[in-house]
Amino acid sequence: MHRSFSETKFLCYKACIGSGIDVGRAQDISAAATLIGAYEKSFFARFPALITAPVNHLRLAENTASKIAQFENISAAQNGSFLADCLQSKLYTQIQIRLLDNAMLLAGMCLHLAPELHLTLTINNKLAAQFFENRLFAVTAWLMSDNAEFVTLEISDNTIPELAELAPSHALYIGDETWEEIEYLAARTYVAENEQSRIAGAGAGLTDND
């Protein structure tokens, strides 16, 4: 079924909150998911699993003299905004990841948070994508990789001609089953509609004070 960008972004945001993600990251994740989902509609089927994955404790290999950051295991939803910030601040110019749960969401986080950067993504030494100025050049099959191994994300000024530019859709198509899964997570933020919940502060209250 076709969904608007605004309702998709809002529902994804509520689903993130319902999954225990803090407000700031929920805003970034929902914006990134809606942005990257316009390039590949099947991405949304992966979204519930990405935001409900067990907490991943980020571990950075010690190498203070280098502009290269090395990580063992990365969750795009949990760690993507941090990685984008590291590149945007020029703290690091290259990030190496042994295992990444979803390459497409990481690309979306970078497009959303650091559109001014010229970034290249490789997976297992194979070129997967390049993105800059809200433009995405990619091999879709590689960019859709789940549990991608030996991923490198780096700042690069070189345009790679063999990558085709992808065109985003102007409408989102998300299947009913996937939409219901996201709605289920969003519903965790709702409270019961009864007198007790209103007394506790939900809704507009029990009296009209206008």
Of the candidates 97, 84, 209, the residue with the CA atom closest to the CA atom of residue 152: 97
**Which pTM value belongs to this model?**
0.85
**pLDDT tens-digit readout, 124-165:** 999 999 988 888 999 888 888 889 999 999 998 776 777 889
Amino acid in position 176: D
Instruction: Tell me the domain boundaries of the chain.
Output: 2-166
| Distance, CA of 109 to CA of 102 (rounded, Å) | 11
